[in-house]
Amino acid sequence: MKRRNRWVRRLFWGGVLGVFALLGVVFSGLAVGGFEQRTLPVSQPLPFSHALHAGALGLSCRYCHGAAEKAAYAGFPSTETCMTCHTFVKPDSPNLALVRQSWETGESLHWNRVINLPDFVYFHHGAHVAKGVGCAECHGRVDQMAVVRQPWAFTMRFCLECHRQPEARLRPKEQVFNMAYTPDPELGKTLRALYRVRSAEALTGCNTCHR
């Protein structure tokens, strides 16, 4: 009887360890399969410089990412967006060869995604913009990046720190797309009430980010 109980205990704990080992393999595979945090610059099919367009020229994020204010995804710029300017500005530049080809053939440009959140994370751009969260809070100083990169790892801790004290990240809505703006926590308290930002308890609930 004692020997049988000993074997049962061994089987039980062996099964528990096996489950944890399997979970480790699965999550490692997910990381390798595309959920890794990529903080190095991501190359694009053509040399588009945010430092030039958003920085030196002062183009608003909304010009290329028009869905950011309303939709869950900010979206990629269409060929039509590029050609609105480049029909007249440096139309023969070799750097724009793929843009011209896309314009002539009707085939879309294929931009490489920089921010790569896992499928089990829900994020809505429009909801954050509506509450006064600036682009730079997540994307960093894109206006200073020749090649865009993810500035820091988007871990659960990163999101929770903001959701626990959102007033430290809020700004007037007219400053949301201003990369150089520095949020004022005291003003943020007023803005939190004005924009009706939910309580920290509600913002840190599991179903806020996992739906």
Residues 6 or more apart whose Cβ sits within 8 Å of residue 52: 146
Helices (H), 67-133: 79-86, 97-105, 125-130
Contact 206, 163 (CB under 8 A): no
Distance in angstroms (rounded) separating the CA atoms of residues 23 and 50: 40
Residues 6 or more apart whose Cβ sits within 8 Å of residue 113: 42
pLDDT for the residue numbered 115: 87
**Encoded tokens for 138:** 């997540």
Contact 143, 55 (CB under 8 A): yes
Domain locations along the chain = 1-36, 50-76+114-209, 77-110
Nearest Cα to 154, choosing from 167, 145, 163? 163
pLDDT for the residue numbered 2: 53
pLDDT for the residue numbered 13: 55
pLDDT for the residue numbered 31: 43
pLDDT for the residue numbered 26: 40
Mean pLDDT per 10-residue section of the chain, whose length is 211 residues: 58 54 42 53 90 95 93 93 95 95 94 88 96 96 93 92 96 96 96 96 94 86
pLDDT for the residue numbered 29: 38
Is the whole-model pTM more than 0.85? no
Distance in angstroms (rounded) separating the CA atoms of residues 182 and 190: 16
pLDDT for the residue numbered 12: 57
